Structure 1
Amino acid sequence: MLMDQTLLPTVVAIAPPLDIGVVINGAAKEIGRAAVIAVTKARGMEVAGAVDSYFVGEDIGKLCDMEEALEIPIMNDLTMVLGSISQSKDTSVVVDFTDPSTVYDNVKQATAFGMKSVVYVPRIKLDTIAALSAFCEKASMGCLIAPTLSIGSIHLQQAAISASFHYNNVEIVESRTTAIDFPSQDAIQIANNLSNLGQIYNREDISTDTLARGQVLGEDGVRVHSLVLPGLPSGTTVYFSGPGEVYTLKHEITDVQSLMPGLILAIRKVVHLKVAEYLKLCFFLVSPTPVFLWLQYSEK
């Protein structure tokens, strides 16, 4: 008797997760050490190299206080590390935590070895982003430049865009533990997202003559106030108000660990990134559109 084929179980071949080799450039920094631990714990990826000018020769696992050494020494020669990894890994990503002045050359080196890059370098200049955009388009190589790795920050920005259509007054208050470039990139991004939406904010108080009222970003009246207080969490608060109502959005970062889910997300994304997608993500700093692209990719 022949068995009805429709009753047989269906066998579905499930491809194993990609084995992504991750090179951490800036591995000795606090965020670099956190990234090493996060990548080690993540499914389908592993630390393949560690680059920094500090603690050269030390095992990156021991530097991160891991239970076991990773047997990966910190090296200060990016080219040597990339050359070694390119011969042993089919899929590799370079995570760059270095400096705005070195990012362009670092991405060029990674591209030369067929590797894509995730760049998280605060205060990166727009002309550097434009140069990277042109280079990666010519090389047909994806790259993801993240102005933030905080998923919470992205949710705040998305919520702020939604709220902006319903309130006529908005001000941004940001806090940092040390004095850096102000306003911060987060504040600039939020102000850019809220601008050019057909709304003029704070119409009754749009003058810029009083410095104590904060800086106006753009032409639509969004104000930002920057606080520097040691011990205060790094955070951003957006205040919206209307008649008889105040709506507050607040996000604080108390530990660099909060950036790791976003980093793992970025590594998984950049592996499949095409140039056209890269161009939109690259200009995340000046366009609100890519904010929503991040939210489409979640860890399973």
Structure 2
Amino acid sequence: MAMAMPVVASTYFGLKPTASRPLIECAMPSSRTGTIRVIVNGAGKDIGRAAIAAISKARGMELAGAIDPLLVGMDAGEIANLDEPLEVPVLNDLVMLLTSLSQSRTAGVLVDFSEPYSVYDNVRQATAFGMRSVVHVPGVDMDVIASLSKFCEKASMGCIISPTLSIGSLLLEKAAMTAAYHYDHVEIVESRPDTSVCPSPDTIQLANNLSGLGQTYNKNDLSTDSAARGAVVGDGVRVHSMALPGLCSSMEVHFSAPGEVLSIKHDMTNLQSLMPGLLLAIRRVVRLKSLVYGLEKFL
């Protein structure tokens, strides 16, 4: 049976119950042995909505809370376009939600889709309340990650910070790193539907990983004078970004040697492609006692 939290939602939301807007209480999902209780922070974002749907349908998981400042009071199932409400209201107070869930002995995970500036505090708060964290927020500073790593290790609490949740993208990266030992020329071409982040975190991560293999690529073509040749990242890796409305997110890696070209490509048509990686991260993080950077460590 659901247990009502001590704070009544009508007071917290600043709303008064009416016939058309009934009183909503912050309900805690039922506790089942072995069930992972998940909070989604950034529930109103497209990826947050997809995550709510995936978590609510995943075996061994239940949505324990949703955080978003713009959708306070709405049902999480409603914003995720599910057929039925989940009876989990969207809140805007992470600490209050963590406080209520900390009373449960079942495993808890905070999934953070917030902003780079808030990741540090969010992970520390979740850790302090005995919850693990899965973070998928582009642009988190590496100094922040290093500080959180020390904090999580000291607290013996797990955390996964991953620039990408796409298993296909990670498999492309593994294949590219294997191929890189055999080729002297490499260029990465990405396609995106917008210019919000170019190059994307996935592309930068791949270029940096290829740069850590002890060789310099494109040795005769390292000039940055021509913008049409793209950016040079790391040890000579050429990166090109194409952004047009209507394009799916795509990454191609082209290697060349005398007489041959090897091309590896991965396309993402929608956010559903990230959900298997997210569920994998949630299941793995509850077993960790420190911070792990990159979902590829679990493939």
Q: Given that residues 49 and 85 in structure 1 are in contact (C-alpha distance below 8 angstroms), is that contact kept between their aligned partners in structure 2?
A: no
Query: For residues 70-85 of structure 1, what are the structure 2 equivalents within 5 Å?
Result: 70-85=86-101
Three-state SS of the structure 1 residue aligned to 2:267 is strand
Gaps of at least 5 residues in structure 1 are 1-15, 285-289, 296-300
Counterpart of 2:103 in structure 1 is 87
Q: How far off is 1:23 after superposition?
A: 0.6
> What is the aligned-residue RMSD (CA, Å)?
1.6
**Most deviating of 207-216 and 31-40:** 207-216
Q: How far off is 1:246 after superposition?
A: 1.2
The alignment status of 1:237 with 2:252, answered yes or no, reads yes
C-alpha separation in 2, matches of 1:56 and 1:155: 38
Counterpart of 1:169 in structure 2 is 185
Q: How far off is 1:188 after superposition?
A: 1.4
Sequence identity (%): 59
1:89-136 alpha-carbon deviations (Å, 9 max, x no partner) = 521101001000111111111112100100000111112212211221
- State the 4+ residue runs in structure 1 displaced beyond 6 angstroms: none
Higher share in strand: 2
Query: For residues 97-136 of structure 1, what are the structure 2 equivalents within 5 Å?
Result: 97-136=113-152
Q: Given that residues 17 and 43 in structure 1 are in contact (C-alpha distance below 8 angstroms), is that contact kept between their aligned partners in structure 2?
A: no
Match for 1:294 among 263, 285, 298?
A: 298
Three-state SS of the structure 2 residue aligned to 1:101 is helix
Three-state SS of the structure 1 residue aligned to 2:220 is helix
Q: Given that residues 72 and 90 in structure 2 are in contact (C-alpha distance below 8 angstroms), is that contact kept between their aligned partners in structure 1?
A: yes
Counterpart amino acid of residue 294 in structure 1: F
Q: Given that residues 176 and 228 in structure 1 are in contact (C-alpha distance below 8 angstroms), is that contact kept between their aligned partners in structure 2?
A: yes
1:159-189 alpha-carbon deviations (Å, 9 max, x no partner) = 0001111111100111222212332211111
C-alpha separation in 2, matches of 1:50 and 1:89: 20
Q: Given that residues 255 and 261 in structure 2 are in contact (C-alpha distance below 8 angstroms), is that contact kept between their aligned partners in structure 1?
A: yes
Q: Given that residues 21 and 89 in structure 1 are in contact (C-alpha distance below 8 angstroms), is that contact kept between their aligned partners in structure 2?
A: no
Three-state SS of the structure 2 residue aligned to 1:182 is coil
**Most deviating of 23-32 and 193-202:** 193-202
Counterpart of 2:167 in structure 1 is 151
Match for 1:34 among 45, 50, 61?
A: 50
Match for 1:204 among 212, 220, 224?
A: 220
C-alpha separation in 1, matches of 2:226 and 2:134: 41
Counterpart of 1:10 in structure 2 is none
Counterpart of 2:26 in structure 1 is none
